[in-house]
Structure 1
Amino acid sequence: MTAPAEAVLRPLRESDAERMARLHVAGWRNAAASSLAATTVAEHDGDLVGFVSVGPGRDEDLDLEVELWALYACAAWWGRGLGHRMLTHALAARASYLWVLDGNERATGFYRRQGFVADGTERHEPEGRELRMVRR
């Protein structure tokens, strides 16, 4: 058996959009099949405008059982209360935690308004440094 050819790494191009979407969906389906996350979408006039995913906490050094895995709203919906509604729907008042990219002031401010505070823990991911925020 011959070894597979090496993959070429290059910047994303606009012409990649459709293939990128298919790849993303395939990855999501594979992950969802083995995931315990609960995902809720926000829909308006037939379009998806946001989503929230919550699952079991994955950080062994923390005594919180619930982690906010993802929260996303289309930019047109920022400042309209959608993020708050999705977060409240997914977490209610449960103690939980999340990771946020350092320097994302919009997200950090939003999470502070929802009662989350940085606990001083950070990690380094390919996207950059992430900070952990908790709400008890």
Structure 2
Amino acid sequence: MPELNDYRIRVASLEDVRPALEMKLEAWRQAYKNFRDEDFFLFHEQQLEAQVAWWERGLASGAQFIIAENTSGEIIGLAGGTPSIDEDQDAGVDIELGMLYILEDHYGSGLGGHLLDVVLGQRPALLWVLEGNDRAIAFYRKHGFEFDGTSEELTGSWRGLTELRMVRRNG
């Protein structure tokens, strides 16, 4: 297992967008292999160019996300937060953890917690997690998040899955 100091965390640049999205797809394959078949992953790989363009526009307009890279410069994790959307105002927090993905070789290394702290600090926040994603649920509970009873049935390529909202009220 990699040691805590075997990576560095920084704000992503435009040059990081493609490799970060490629890493995210690999992290999805690893984390969601029991939730989706190969067609799901192939579909999202085919969307890569559009996603790269969308993320590049976002960075150009001031958005940012955080990456973790190993000593060889390969991206091994990424995370980002966004202001809570109107539909989540009832949660009583103003920031959402929009994404947190690390490669499974780094599970248990402390990297996920480190990325979470960089993005959120100890602030109250919310996130959405797939129902049945027990590893992620345990991780988020360890960091103070609990279910608040809100769920959402997913559509599109995620159809048939349910997301559950978790909220951390006190950091």
* Match status 1:63 vs 2:92: yes
The whole-number CA distance in structure 2 between the counterparts of 1:108 and 1:101 is: 8
Superposition deviation, residue 22 in structure 1: 2.4
Helix, strand or coil at the partner of 2:139: helix
Counterparts of residues 99-118 of structure 1 (less than 5 Å): 99-118=128-147
Helix, strand or coil at the partner of 1:22: helix
RMSD over aligned Cα atoms: 2.1
Partner of 2:162: 129
Partner of 1:3: none
What are the ranges of 5 or more consecutive residues in structure 1 without an aligned counterpart?
Answer: 1-10
What are the ranges of 5 or more consecutive residues in structure 2 without an aligned counterpart?
Answer: 1-38
Larger radius of gyration, structure 1 or 2? 1
The whole-number CA distance in structure 2 between the counterparts of 1:101 and 1:33 is: 30
Partner of 1:7: none
Deviations 1:51-95 (A, max 9, x none): 110110111322210110000001111111100000011111100
Work out the percentage of aligned pairs sharing the same amino acid. Answer: 38
Deviations 1:78-135 (A, max 9, x none): 1111000000111111000100010101100100000100001001112210000000
Partner of 1:88: 117
Runs of 4+ residues over 3 Å off in structure 1? 11-14, 30-34
- The structure in which a higher percent of residues are strand is 1
Counterparts of residues 40-79 of structure 1 (less than 5 Å): 40-44=66-70, 45-58=72-85, 59-79=88-108
Superposition deviation, residue 13 in structure 1: 7.8
- The structure in which a higher percent of residues are helix is 2
Taking structure 1 as the reference length, the TM-score comes to 0.80
